[in-house]
């Protein structure tokens, strides 16, 4: 028995062992890379196209591709698949090929004949192209595609596809709901297998950059002690062609460097950033660069020295330029003027178009406020033609229920990517104007990585959309479902249907018709449309709803803040015109009487109530549909999703009832027939408080508050 045979036997045994343990108890750790065994009836068909792996040459990245093919094919085919000499049915990886149309990172997968053998050829220009091709080939099998006549060419549409972790050095995660940070700074530079699996998962969907730490940055990250730890992570990610980026606090020259100033035009500050960049590149030769939040929510920035945002970005960009590094400079600034918050980023950045260095990307959130369940697209898109722009979306569900139920975010991101800013002309959607897509990570050290099992889908969808922003949410949901749950159409169809309707359901039961930011306190969990006490006006729900006895909504037309006027004329005209603006954006742009007649003849009041109830009904349907899926899902994950969905139903009722109770206290209108009154009086919802969030199951309610036993499931004060 040769050593090769023994190794192959061990791989097969390991694959089998991981399958059997997964079948008993799946905890979600394997994500969409489960590689569960193919049904016996189909197996022979696939084995014929995966008899072994042939590579021309090796490198750490090619080795990562081979490892993944061995792991995935062996597990799915139930036999050991390893390297082989050229033969029929081989999977052949070739690199260094000049293939038109696929750039540096793309690949081609073709059924071909090679020296007389029928093989599947995965060819690419670069090693990373071959790695992406290997994952794509595995995905074909995972989703049960026919491998007989393959002719696929694919390449990323955006060069920079990056996760942004909001992870602090003490392992807390800002807006993180998936346990402590996965970066264990205390034990680094010791490497945990989890870091490798994280890199595999990212590479499998084309993510090629990660920012390790929070945009509210701790300057310590730039000290030698931490940089050594960062370098250890970079070493793990390098074979997967994932570049490490860091956030840097703008005042680091003072806090880390001991300088008296962080003024970006000061020569000592320039020299400090240059020296710091040189130091980092000595440790991490492929370091990606810095992501910076400046002059926002208390962070220091160039305005502290009366310099522009461009001055601030450029001093750091100049330090990185000799090494090929990039600055991601966030456009998320507000609170420095009394203007409508939705206008402030545009007001600050638009006039700086063309003033940023070529290695700066201005990172713009998908909407003008802050990752609300629905916002119109950000007015900066398309309007800074001489600046590289990146879009930032949020995977972690800060404003969308945090840890409850199912909320698939691809439809929300696609809405922004497909929007047409009509600047400089119509017909060029946001996705055609951007150089990067960044996603605020939802990953933590939970065994299943994310807060809920379905939040894994948002990680997956983010990578797939950053690779190709034209992919449809339906295709992405279908792929993910087949890889993560089951290929049986009786499971795939209802799961995909649930996913595709899930974001709209949240919009309906939280903030329908263009409402936004109706959340409790700073934790952004639960409804508080009445709330008006925060010191920063734009942290208050009342700032956004402007509701009173006369009506509801924010007038952003020329009679109000004129935020609509920041968009290109065709877009602005439509947003400002009640005959053109879509119902979904109505109250974002208009303040209207409760009795306003919608296009369908209903009053605004009736339309609002109908949407709240539609959202609740949708999540109730989702819960029922999931219950039918028991035969297709392992018990552990089935139970976990059941409980998440149940909590979402309770939360949807809470949102619906609290919101309606408040609006009704202002409008004084009766509920339209067929819609039930809130379970509790308004005072009950106003008395709900939390010591910890998310914490629906343990709200604190003032015992003196009136209580009516409720259908929403929440009990009164204990
Ligand atoms: C990292 C919102 C969040 C903050 C976050 C900020 C940002 O305001 O609530 O937690 O800070 O966005 O994007 O910088």
Q: What is the largest CA-CA distance in the chain?
A: 86
Contact 364, 331 (CB under 8 A): yes
Contact 292, 334 (CB under 8 A): no
Q: Exposed/middle/buried for 475, CB within 10 Å: 0-12, 13-18, 19+?
A: middle
Pocket test for ligand 1, best of 211, 335, 370 (most atoms within 8 A of CB): 370
Contact 482, 666 (CB under 8 A): no
Regions of the chain short of the pLDDT cut 50: 1-24, 717-718
- Residue 519: CB within 6 Å of ligand 1? no
Q: Kindly give the distance from the C-alpha atom of residue 297 to the centroid of ligand 1, in angstroms, as a whole number.
A: 8
- Residue 69: CB within 6 Å of ligand 1? no
pLDDT of residue 700: 86
Give the integer Cα–Cα distance in Å for 291 and 212: 10
- Residue 272: CB within 6 Å of ligand 1? no
- Residue 521: CB within 6 Å of ligand 1? no
How would you classify the pairing of strands 592-593 and 688-689? unpaired
Active site residue 297: yes
Segment 290-311, tens digit of pLDDT: 999 999 999 999 999 999 999 9
Task: Compute how many other C-beta atoms are within 10 angstroms of the C-beta atom of residue 2.
Answer: 7
Q: What number does the ligand 1 atom closest to the CA of 392 have?
A: 13
- Residue 341: CB within 6 Å of ligand 1? no
* 211 three-class SS: strand
Angstrom distances, CA of residue 393 to CA of 378, 479, 524, 564, 577 = 12, 21, 17, 22, 28
Angstrom distances, CA of residue 278 to CA of 23, 246, 286, 323, 359 = 50, 15, 12, 8, 16
Give the integer Cα–Cα distance in Å for 27 and 10: 24
Tokens encoding 294: 């400046």
pLDDT of residue 701: 85
pLDDT of residue 335: 86
pLDDT of residue 358: 98
Tokens encoding 576: 């400002």
pLDDT of residue 695: 80
Segment 101-144, tens digit of pLDDT: 999 999 999 999 999 999 999 999 999 999 999 999 999 999 99
- Residue 174: CB within 6 Å of ligand 1? yes
Contact 158, 392 (CB under 8 A): no
Give the integer Cα–Cα distance in Å for 247 and 704: 47
Mark residue 78 as left, alpha or beta (left: phi above 0; alpha: psi -120 to 50; beta: remaining): left
For residue 408, give the nearest of 478, 319, 305 by alpha carbon: 478
For residue 129, give the nearest of 110, 111, 103 by alpha carbon: 103
Segment 261-278, tens digit of pLDDT: 999 999 999 999 999 999
Task: DSSP letter for 390, please.
Answer: E
For residue 437, give the nearest of 408, 463, 470, 410 by alpha carbon: 463
pLDDT of residue 2: 43
Give the integer Cα–Cα distance in Å for 714 and 697: 7
Give the integer Cα–Cα distance in Å for 119 and 148: 10
Q: Where are the beta strands (DSSP E) in 280-424?
A: 289-292, 326-330, 360-365, 388-394
Pocket test for ligand 1, best of 176, 216, 297, 397 (most atoms within 8 A of CB): 297
Q: What number does the ligand 1 atom closest to the CA of 215 have?
A: 1
Active site residue 39: no
Contact 241, 128 (CB under 8 A): yes
pLDDT of residue 6: 39
Give the integer Cα–Cα distance in Å for 45 and 564: 57
Q: Kindly give the distance from the C-alpha atom of residue 166 to the centroid of ligand 1, in angstroms, as a whole number.
A: 9
């Amino acid at each position: 028995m040769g050593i090769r045979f023994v190794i192959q036997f061990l791989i097969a045994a390991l694959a089998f062992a991981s399958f059997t343990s997964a079948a008993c108890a799946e905890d979600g750790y394997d994500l969409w890379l489960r590689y569960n065994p193919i049904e016996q009836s189909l197996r022979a068909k696939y084995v014929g196209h995966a008899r072994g792996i042939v590579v021309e040459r090796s490198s750490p990245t090619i080795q990562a591709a081979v490892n993944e093919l061995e792991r995935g094919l062996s597990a799915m085919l139930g036999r050991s698949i390893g390297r082989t000499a050229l033969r029929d049915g081989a999977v052949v990886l070739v690199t260094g090929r000049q293939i038109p149309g696929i750039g540096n990172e793309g690949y081609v997968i073709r059924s071909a004949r090679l020296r007389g053998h029928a093989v599947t050829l995965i060819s690419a220009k670069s090693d990373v192209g071959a790695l992406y091709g290997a994952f794509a080939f595995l995905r074909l099998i995972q989703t049960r595609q026919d491998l007989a006549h393959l002719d696929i060419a694919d390449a990323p549409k955006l060069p920079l596809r990056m996760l942004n972790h909001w992870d602090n050095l003490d392992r807390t995660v800002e807006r993180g709901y998936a346990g402590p940070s996965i970066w264990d700074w205390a034990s680094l530079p010791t490497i945990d297998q989890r870091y490798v699996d994280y890199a595999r998962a990212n590479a499998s969907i084309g993510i090629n950059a990660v920012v390790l730490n929070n945009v509210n940055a701790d300057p310590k990250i730039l000290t030698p002690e931490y940089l050594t730890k960062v370098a250890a992570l970079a070493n793990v990610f390098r074979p997967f062609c994932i570049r490490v980026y860091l956030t840097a606090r703008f005042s680091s020259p003072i806090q880390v460097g001991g300088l008296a100033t962080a003024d970006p035009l000061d020569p000592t500050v320039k020299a400090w950033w240059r020296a710091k960049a040189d130091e980092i590149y000595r440790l991490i030769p492929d370091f990606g660069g810095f992501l910076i939040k400046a002059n926002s929510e208390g962070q220091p920035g160039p305005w502290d020295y009366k310099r522009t945002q461009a001055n601030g970005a450029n001093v750091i960009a100049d330090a990185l330029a000799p090494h090929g590094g990039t600055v991601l400079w966030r456009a998320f600034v507000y609170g420095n003027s009394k203007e409508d918050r939705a206008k402030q980023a545009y007001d600050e950045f638009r006039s700086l178009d063309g003033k940023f260095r070529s290695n700066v990307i201005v990172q713009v959130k998908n909407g003008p406020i802050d990752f609300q369940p629905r916002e119109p697209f950000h007015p900066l898109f398309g309007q800074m033609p001489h600046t590289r722009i990146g879009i930032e979306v949020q995977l972690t569900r800060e404003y969308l229920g945090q840890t409850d139920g199912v909320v698939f975010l691809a439809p929300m991101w696609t809405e922004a990517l497909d929007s047409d800013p009509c600047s400089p002309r119509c017909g060029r959607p946001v996705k055609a104007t951007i150089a990067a897509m960044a996603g605020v990570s939802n990953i933590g050290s939970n065994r299943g990585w994310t807060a809920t099992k379905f939040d894994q889908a948002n990680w997956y969808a983010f990578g797939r959309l950053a690779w190709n922003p034209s992919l449809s949410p339906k295709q992405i949901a279908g792929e993910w479902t087949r890889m993560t749950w089951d290929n049986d159409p009786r499971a795939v169809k209802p799961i995909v249907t649930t996913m595709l309707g899930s974001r709209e359901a949240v919009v309906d039961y939280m903030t329908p018709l263009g409402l936004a930011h109706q959340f409790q306190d700073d934790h952004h969990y639960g409804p508080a449309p009445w709330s008006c006490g925060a010191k920063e006006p734009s942290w208050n729900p009342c700032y956004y709803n402007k509701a009173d006895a006369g009506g509801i909504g924010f007038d952003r037309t020329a009679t109000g803040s004129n935020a609509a006027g920041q968009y290109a004329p065709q877009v602005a005209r439509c947003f400002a015109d009640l005959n053109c603006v879509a119902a979904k954006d109505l109250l974002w742009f208009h303040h209207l009487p409760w009795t306003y007649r919608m296009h369908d003849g209903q009053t605004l009041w009736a339309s609002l109530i109908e949407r709240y109830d539609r959202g609740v009904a949708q999540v109730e349907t989702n819960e029922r549909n999931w219950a039918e899926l028991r035969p297709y899902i392992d018990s552990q994950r089935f139970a976990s999703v059941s409980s998440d969905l149940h909590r979402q139903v309770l939360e949807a009722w809470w949102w619906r009832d609290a919101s309606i109770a408040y609006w009704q206290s202002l409008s004084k209108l009766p509920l339209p027939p067929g819609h039930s009154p809130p379970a509790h009086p308004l005072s009950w919802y106003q008395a709900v408080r939390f010591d910890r969030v998310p914490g629906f199951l343990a709200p604190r309610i003032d015992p003196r508050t009136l209580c009516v036993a409720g259908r929403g499931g929440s009990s009164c004060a204990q």
